[in-house]
Amino acid sequence: MITLNNHTVWENLSEVVEGIDANALVLEHLALCDYQISGYWDESDRFYENILLPRPLSPQLISSGLIFNGDKRRIQLKFTLNIETATPPISIAQLMLVYDENLEFIDENWQIDLKSELIQVQA
């Protein structure tokens, strides 16, 4: 049986993630979308036309990974988005960003706390 506990793949993954400025990527993404999400479906299949996120947000990288699918390689970064001015931090959303091996944006996946008073929604 093969185990991957001490395999070099983990070292390589750590090197890749450490070489990426993940906070710069997520802040750039938030700026490009102007802190708005258009066309969001929640877990109950309710559609929201537009969601406005508060500013400023403080992202925190909570997981990262490499995805291999045939000859395609992707980098997946998952963040929690916290209200920057809150102590202790208040998480209002999670955002997963997917990039190709050239760090070109591929996809996003949001999980938003729609019950938060800080989120503005338009159903």
Query: What does the alpha-carbon distance between residue 42 and residue 30 come to, in Å, rounded to a whole number?
Result: 20
60-88 tens-digit pLDDT = 999 988 888 888 889 999 999 999 876 88
Q: What is the pLDDT of residue 120?
A: 93
Q: What is the pLDDT of residue 25?
A: 94
* Strands of the sheet with 57-69, listed across from one edge: 57-69, 72-83, 90-100, 105-112
Q: How far apart are the first and last CA of the chain?
A: 52
Q: Which two tokens stand for residue 101?
A: 């091996």
More confident residue, 73 or 113: 113
10 falls in which pLDDT band (50, 70, 90)? low
- pTM, rounded to two decimals: 0.84
